[in-house]
Chain A
Amino acid sequence: MTPRLKDQTELRVVIAEDTVLLREGLRRVLTDVGLDVAGTAGDAEQLLSLVAAARPDVVLTDIRMPPTQTTEGLQAALEIRRRWPGTAVTVLSQHVETEHLFELLAGDPRGIGYVLKERVADIAQFTDAIRRVAAGESVIDPQVVSRLVARPRRDSPLETLTERELAVLALMAEGRSNHAIANQLYMSPKTVETHVGNLFAKLGLLPVAEDHRRVLAVLTYLRQ
């Protein structure tokens, strides 16, 4: 059920957002960076029929949408994942809190993105997130992760981690691969692997090879 990997210029995107201005802004931004916006929707129902018709590679949806303005977008995302498992989904959230995130990751975390709405201001980072999600990675907003990492804890093995290890942990939680972590922290992939091994041992987590499983393990650990 790996999301279809395509040449990224051909990525077909569907956007669901109830505010017209923002919806059009998003369409413009994504078109500008070379993504194929296959359609836009103003609510969850439209979104579902649009996805059924257009079969996009990736769906970008706001969590709060009409008619109840609660979690229509999230429910639609879960529904899309159930009906078209290969479709990658990125949700735009106003919540730094993790409740919706875990609902979303509970199934298969591959090709799932959880991005805070204000992230759209940084267009490069934002489009990169969509591309990564389309490529089957998990993308968790850095702000969400940093809050989880920074949570006060007592007698937690987290306190025994070095600063480096903490940085590696946070990037893992954001859904980064070892390769990406190495690039971002200016380390060799070998060093990253060592750090990952050490910190998993310190936290008492079983080592996992796949990145998406790692994301869930780390996030679950941080959330406790």
Chain B
Amino acid sequence: MSRRLLAVLIAGAIAAAGGLAWSGWPPHSDYLPILICYEVIGSSYLVAGIAAWVRWPSSRLGLLFTIAGYLYLLPYILVNLANPVAFTIGNLGQGIYTAAVAHLGLAWPTGRLRSRFECGVVIAEYVTAVGFSAAAIVFWNPAFSGCDASCPANVLLAGDGSRSAGNAINTIGGFVGLVLTGIVLTLIVRHWRSARGWSRRAMVPLVWLAGAVGIEQIVTGGVLNLPLSSLVSFGLAPLVMLAGPVLFVISTVRARTAGGALGTAIVDLGQGASPARLREALARALGDSTLQLAFGRPDESGYLDTAGRAVDVDRPGPGRVVARIAGSDEAVLVYDEGLALEPQLVKLTAAAASMALEHARLQAEVQAQLEQVRASRTRIVEAGDAERRRLERDLHDGAQQRLVTLSLALGMARDRAAQADPELGSLIESASKEAREALTELRELARGIHPAVLTETGLTGAIQALAERSPVATTITAVPDGRFPAAIEATAYFVVSEALTNVAKHAMAGGAEVTIYQRPGRLVVEVSDDGAGGARPEGGSGLRGLADRVASVGGVLRMDSPPGCGTRLEADLPCP
């Protein structure tokens, strides 16, 4: 809507409200409440009209609100202008607003009438409202309504008028109006029943309000001449008229609430949610259970929604609208056309969906990369272990065996030479000693590369071996029998080995304790000492390497080392 049009509308609204106030002022004290009612109701329609025009530029609702507002206010201004022509037109025009209100109700919430029949009903509403008014006014002498000589004249009055003729026309008009009201209300209820999603929820307040209007019409339409009629027409009717603007306010609040709920829904959705859960969150936030989130099939043969149903994005079906999700040309939102009134909300929804999908995609990507890195790290460590095993075996089968054979040969040579040539004997003896030393060193080297006892007997023997070699008194509290995956056994072994080395080097401990136990799916390795404590997890490459090693099999290394209270190292390893 152009600014100029808006300015005209605002000026018109102010003028109308001001005109009413001026023309009716000073009011007869009895009419003051009525005057205020008219002011409030008429102004609220005009304000709702302007606001609707601004909020829903694509919809005619703003126009309908504005028309209803003017049709409501203008007759009363004219009546009060003390001009016979204006007085006559004003009286003629009273009541036409009901046709505008019916029009508004039928066009809710898109502003468009849904069928030719409905157009006909609306035209009939306007025509009967104007027609019966025009017919009745011919017979209406203002004096019938208690108007004295100060009243302007009815310029359309034929003769002195006829009270009975006027009443008869009013009664017939009332009947016709009632029938039309019935049709309109029925149509509104049908709209509500056939509506889905956003539109259906938008219809709910309308249905309630239409019901109230219907009752008001029956009571005040002159059909039933109840004793309460005048009370209702002066007390209830103005309140019922307020229903229109209230409807607008409810819709506005709902859109805002939905906008806010979107943010919360996306936050609550958390990480790595499936598209189905994203759709649910969006549908819940919008209050449109028919919302669909559809993705292009990989073979480009169409779209499928999150429930696996095919979606035709070019012809989404009656009452459905398609919006593409930015940043992802393969995803679309399909929603109720009622929601199209709120382009901002749709944009917000699409943006939220886009962000969530992008987030999920990135997360999946990062997760996949992480999995790859983890797997490759595990493979590297396993390859390293295998290489160490191979080296150890090569040492054993090769150099160590040769040295043993050499030692044996030297022993035999020495025994033979000892008697004949003692000097040669002692020479050979020292060579033999060297060979033994070499064997011992080689054994230590091989054990350091890979502990054969771990491969041969598993953790029980290997941990016992570590405890036996430890320079610090080491108690083994528990080690589970049985074998575990090689990588887990090796990691547990290196944890204990490195921990005991650290205890000996740094802890100034009197003793250490090793406990290995199983929890469902886990193998927990604990090494604690009663030393000085105060070790820092980041200190020392050995500990860092150990943490890496533990992480390589998907485990966690924890260290607890309060100064003066010993150190406790715990490796929590996965163990299927």
A interface list, Cβ under 8 A from B: 19, 21-22, 25-26, 28-29, 32, 64, 69-71, 94-100, 103, 117-118, 120-124, 126, 147-148, 151-154, 223
B412 CB contact (under 8 Å) in A29, A154, A223: A29
Find out whether the CB atom of B468 lies under 8 angstroms from the CB atom of A97.
Answer: yes
B316 within 8 A of A: no
Interface flag for B411 (CB, 8 Å): yes
Contacting pair B396 A152 (CB below 8 A):
no
When distances are taken between beta carbons in the complex, the residues of chain B under 8 Å from A69 are 393, 396-397
User: How far, in Å, is B399 (CB) from chain A's closest CB?
Assistant: 12
Contacts A19-B401, A118-B404 given; does A99 touch B460 at CB 8 Å: yes
Which 10 residue pairs of A and B lie closest in terms of their CB atoms, listed nearest first? Answer: A99-B461, A121-B407, A97-B465, A25-B408, A154-B473, A121-B411, A22-B405, A19-B401, A152-B473, A70-B456
A121 to B438 Cα, complex, angstroms:
13
Q: Which residues of A contact B436 (CB under 8 A)?
A: 118, 121
Set A122, A148, A154: member contacting B411, Cβ < 8 A: A122
A26 touching B452 by the CB < 8 A rule? no
Say which residue of A64, A95, A118 sits within 8 Å of B407 (CB atoms).
Answer: A118
Contact partners of A124 in chain B: CB under 8 A: 415
> Given A97-B461, A97-B468, A117-B404, are A70 and B411 also a contact pair (CB < 8 Å)?
no
Whether, in the assembled complex, B439 has its beta carbon less than 8 Å from a beta carbon of chain A, the answer is yes
A148 to B467 Cα, complex, angstroms: 10
Report the minimal beta-carbon distance from B529 to chain A, rounded to whole angstroms: 11
| A-facing residues in B453-494 (Cβ within 8 Å) | 453, 455-457, 460-462, 464-465, 468-474
Query: Of the candidates B403, B408, B439, B465, which one forms a contact with A29 in the assembled complex, judged by CB atoms under 8 Å apart?
Result: B408
Contact B468 A147 (CB under 8 A): yes
Asked whether A99 lies within 8 Å of B464 as measured between CB atoms, the reply is yes
What residues on A are CB-neighbors of B471 within 8 Å?
Answer: 152
Residues of A within 8 A of B402 (CB): 21
A25/B405 in contact, CB under 8 A:
yes
| Complex contacts, B469 vs chain A, CB 8 Å | 97, 147
What is the bound-complex CA distance between A64 and B404, given in angstroms? 14
Taking a contact as CB atoms closer than 8 A, the residue among A70, A118, A123, A152 that contacts B470 in the complex is: A152
Can you list 11 A-B pairs with a CB-CB distance of less than 8 A? A21-B402, A22-B405, A64-B396, A64-B452, A69-B396, A70-B456, A95-B452, A99-B462, A99-B465, A120-B411, A123-B408
Chain A residues with Cβ below 8 Å from B461 are 97, 99-100
Overall SS of chain B's interface: helix
Report if B510 contacts A (CB, 8 A).
yes
Are B409 and A94 in contact, CB atoms less than 8 angstroms apart?
no
What chain B residues lie within 8 Å of A22 (beta carbons)? 401, 404-405, 408
Given A19-B405, A94-B452, 9 extra CB contacts under 8 A: A22-B404, A97-B464, A97-B465, A97-B468, A99-B460, A117-B439, A120-B408, A121-B435, A152-B471
Given A19-B405, A118-B440, A121-B435, A94:B411 Cβ within 8 A:
no
A103 to B458, alpha carbons, bound, how many Å? 13
| Contact residues in B for A70 (Cβ distance below 8 Å) | 452, 455-456
CB distance B468 to A151 under 8 Å? yes
Rounded to whole Å, the gap between the CB of A30 and the closest CB of chain B is 11
**Docked-complex contact B412 and A98, CB < 8 angstroms:** no
Taking CB atoms and an 8 Å cut-off, the chain B residues in 59-111 that contact chain A are: none
Residue of B nearest to A63 (CB): B456
Is the pair A32, B396 in contact by a Cβ cutoff of 8 Å? no
Give the Cβ gap from B444 to chain A, nearest Cβ, in Å. Answer: 9
Alpha-carbon distance A75/B469, docked complex (angstroms): 25
Q: How far is it, in angstroms, between the C-alpha of A151 and the C-alpha of B403 when the chains are bound?
A: 28
Instruction: Assess whether B396 is in contact with A94, with CB atoms less than 8 Å apart.
Output: yes
Contact across chains for A71 and B457 when beta carbons are under 8 A apart: yes
- Does B464 lie within 8 Å of A26, measured CB to CB? no
> Is A29 a contact partner of B473 (Cβ separation < 8 A)?
no
Could you tell me the distance in whole angstroms from the C-beta of B492 to the nearest C-beta in chain A? Answer: 16
Nearest-neighbour CB distance to chain A for B556, whole angstroms, equals 29
Q: Which residues of B contact A152 (CB under 8 A)?
A: 470-474
B397 CB contacts on chain A under 8 angstroms: 19, 69
A21 contact from B393, B405, B443, Cβ within 8 A: B405
B468 and A25 form a contact (CB under 8 A): no
Which residues of chain A come closer than 8 Å to B411, judged between CB atoms?
A: 29, 120-123, 126
From B402, B411, B455, B474, name the one whose CB has the most chain A CB atoms within 10 angstroms. Answer: B411
A44 to B411 alpha-carbon distance, docked (Å):
27
Distance A103 CA – B481 CA, assembled complex (angstroms): 14
Tell me the B376-410 residues at the A interface (CB within 8 Å): 393, 396-397, 400-405, 407-410
Residues of chain A within 8 A (CB-CB) of B393 are 69
Interface string of B412-441 (1 = CB under 8 A from A): 100100000000000000001001100110
When C-beta atoms are compared, the residue in chain B nearest to A92 turns out to be: B404
Q: Answer whether residue B511 sits at the interface, using C-beta atoms and an 8 A cutoff.
A: yes
Q: How far is the CB of B75 from chain A (nearest CB, A)?
A: 107
* Residues of chain B within 8 A of A71, CB atoms compared: 456-457
Closest to A103 in B: B457
Complex formed: what's the CA distance from A20 to B393 in Å? 17
Write the chain B residue with the least CB distance to A19. B401
| Complex CA distance for A136 and B436, rounded to whole angstroms | 28
A148 pairs with B412, CB closer than 8 A: no
CB pair B510 A154 closer than 8 Å: yes
Q: Which of B396, B408, B440, B462 has the most CB of A within 10 A?
A: B408
CB distance from B215 to the nearest CB of A (A): 95
